[in-house]
A = this chain, B = another copy of it.
Amino acid sequence: MSDYITVRGVLGTEVQRKRTKKGDAVAEFRLASSGDWLNRDTGEWVKGVTNWYTVQAFRGLAENLWRSLSKGDPVVVTGKLKLRQWELQDGRRGTSPEIDADSIGHDLRRGTAEFIKNWTAAP
């Protein structure tokens, strides 16, 4: 499927709680994915580009994010990338990278988690 991506990163903000006009839950936060890499020849970490995304989730996933995630938490996010474009009056254009999340979990490479199931429906 084109433009789907999986990102390991860290929450750069708290989770914002929003509602759609219909009243559906929306969760939104900023995610930073470090591009630093280990140079095996020297044993030192090299500075890379940090990718910043706005992550959005809806309904049941959004409500669980509200209750589970805090600024600084390491997470795994998988979903569809959307590169929204905007244009300034002077003609310069920019892009706002968003991920419309299919699912999100705490990154267990970085800690432990206690999980409470609240949805048993079909996949």
Contact = CB atoms under 8 A, between A and B. Distances in A.
A75 B105 contact: yes
A53 B68 CA distance: 27
Copies of this chain, whole number = 4
A51 B82 contact: yes
Q: Determine which residue in A52, A67, A104, A109 has the highest number of CB atoms from chain B within 10 A of its CB, and name it.
A: A109
A102 B1 contact: yes
Nearest to A96: B95
A105 B102 contact: no
Interface string A38-68: 1011000100010111000000110011011
Secondary structure of the A contact surface, majority rule:
strand
Contact of A6 (B2, B36, B64): B2
Interface string A95-113: 1110000111111111111
Given A5-B3, A81-B51, A84-B49, A94 B97 contact: no
Top 5 closest A-B pairs, CB basis? A105-B105, A94-B94, A111-B117, A2-B8, A51-B83
Given A4-B5, A82-B51, A95-B96, A111 B103 contact: no
A59 B92 CA distance: 32
